[in-house]
Amino acid sequence: MTATPLDKRLTAEEVVARLRDGMTIGIGGWGPRRKPMTLVRAILRSPLKDLTIVAYGGPEVGMLLAAGKVRKLIYGFVSMDVIPADPYFRKARQAGSVEARELDEGLLQWGLRAAGMRVPFLPTRTGLGSDVMTVNPEFRTVTSPYADGEVLLAMPAIRLDVALLHATRADRLGNTLTQGPDPFFDELFARAADAVYVSADTVEDQLALDADTAKDNRYERCFVTGVVHAPGGAHPTSSGPLYGWDFKALKAYAASADAEDGWARYRTTVIGADEASYQANFSGLDAIMALPMPVF
């Protein structure tokens, strides 16, 4: 008897069907870089609600807030870099409509790492003396048991129900490559989550790599629950080295917040009913894949 070979391929809609109201969902990438936007748009088109979102936030956070999907937000920042502050994030904060748990960027890394290591906390000086301690009232300090007796923040583990990540390439077994200049912290999101769904610009039968390319495999397939073929799936954020962020699209998204019914119109006309109609707004997949990487 032959065992069934692994096949983790799913559609974005099948991923969303596995999500539940109230879940804690970590989203990989960083600001306007390598966000799993096809998966996020599938959430925007779904009735999911009351989510806790954990992210180095970019436009996905603003969109999920605008769509009323988020009850609680755990973040170090929400920014599109070229457009420093996300307008829907600002609106939600200024209305007090989201439970905002602001962290230092490194503390977010530490919380995910603790979850991945299956320990309750990791100690650090970062956060002491700052309002991290007051806006996260459950945070506690710990005293070093050694001769130094130093008092440190015990950064609690941030355990995720689900992580949503975007990769450059993947295969049906769940092997992934995260290419481009910076992998950010996707591997920590992967190891902190009970289930991990990865969208990728290409999905192959089985990756067959040379040694240099294999180094771009940042987390092991045992952490990958499902793989979604999503060409251009990070748009309007970047997916280096394949395509850069779409500054015009980010600007149009930000500008939509100026109008009273801005989000409703953006949801209907841009997010639309499916990815084909979404990409048609930006002259199609070929144009998205041709977006140049940004220069600083």
Partner 1 sequence: MRNDFTLAELVIVACADAFRGNGEVLASGIGTAPRLGAGLAKLTHSPELMMTDGEAFLVENPVPFGTRPAAPAFSGYMSYARVFDIVWSGRRHVMIGPLQIDRWGQANLSGVGAYDKPKIAMLGMRGLPGNSINHLNSMFVPNHSTRVFVEGEVDIVGGVGYNPARWQPGMNRDSIDIRRVVTDLCVMDFEGPDHAARVRSLHPGVSFEEVQAATGFPLIRPDDLGETPAPTAEELAVIAALDPRNARASVFKDNPPGRRAA
The answer to whether the CB of 47 falls within 8 A of the CB of 20 is: no
Q: Report d(CA 226, CA 200) in Å as an integer.
A: 11
Query: Considering beta carbons, is residue 151 or 255 the nearer one to partner 1?
Result: 151
106 binds partner 1 (CB under 8 A): yes
Q: How far is the CB of 157 from partner 1 (least distance, A)?
A: 17
3 binds partner 1 (CB under 8 A): no
For residue 12, what are its two tokens? 């974005």
Q: How far is the CB of 111 from partner 1 (least distance, A)?
A: 13
The answer to whether the CB of 281 falls within 8 A of the CB of 272 is: yes
Q: Report d(CA 114, CA 152) in Å as an integer.
A: 15
CA 198, distance to chain mean position in Å, is 10
How far the first Cα of the chain sits from its last, in Å, is 57
The answer to whether the CB of 182 falls within 8 A of the CB of 142 is: no
Binding mask 54-93 for partner 1 (x = CB under 8 A): ---x-----------------xxxxx----xx---xx--x
Exactly one of 94, 210, 212, 258 binds partner 1 (CB under 8 A); that residue is 94
Judged by CB under 8 A, the chain residues 135 through 174 that form the site for partner 1 are 135, 141, 143, 149-151
Cα atoms in the Cβ-side hemisphere of radius 13 Å centred on 254? 21
Region of 122-130, 160-168, 250-258, 268-276 interacting with partner 1 (CB under 8 A)? 122-130
Q: Report d(CA 199, CA 38) in Å as an integer.
A: 8
Query: Considering beta carbons, is residue 143 or 206 the nearer one to partner 1?
Result: 143
Exactly one of 1, 147, 273, 295 binds partner 1 (CB under 8 A); that residue is 295
Site for partner 1, rule CB under 8 A:
30, 57, 75-79, 84-85, 89-90, 93-96, 100, 102-107, 109, 124-132, 134-135, 141, 143, 149-151, 181-185, 295-296
